[in-house]
Structure 1
Amino acid sequence: MRDVEYDPREESAYECFDCGTIVVAESCPSACPDCGGAMRNRLTTFE
């Protein structure tokens, strides 16, 4: 686990599970702007 301070007011990078599009925003987009797929926060570990 990384030692990173999380500030919810900062912009984070979100990545689409389906097409890999990356969006930088303050809150998680409800869907990918390119394909409509689900988005994930890139700071959150993915197992």
Structure 2
Amino acid sequence: MKDVTYDPEDESTYECFSCGTVVNASAPGTCPECGADMRNRRTPIE
């Protein structure tokens, strides 16, 4: 694998764990629709 430089200001795609809302943001924290936690879609879930 190739190392990627991490920049927290870069926008990524985030998905809500609860309602499934998808947003492009740098770090949304909580869902703008329902307030639940968001996950970065680049990070795999095991």
Indicate whether the TM-score tops 0.5: yes
What secondary structure sits across from 2:39 in the alignment? Answer: strand
Q: 1:42 to 1:4 in 2, by over 3 A?
A: farther
How well do the aligned residues superpose, as a CA RMSD in angstroms? 1.9
Match of 1:10 in 2: 10
Identity %: 49
Q: What is the Cα deviation at residue 6 of structure 1?
A: 5.0
Structure 1 unaligned segments of length 5 or more: list them.
none
Output the CA distance in 2 between the equivalents of 1:35 and 1:45.
23
Structure 2 unaligned segments of length 5 or more: list them.
none
Q: Which has the larger radius of gyration?
A: 2
Output the CA distance in 2 between the equivalents of 1:12 and 1:46.
16
TM-score, length-scaled by structure 1: 0.75
Output the CA distance in 1 between the equivalents of 2:3 and 2:22.
20
Match of 2:22 in 1: 22
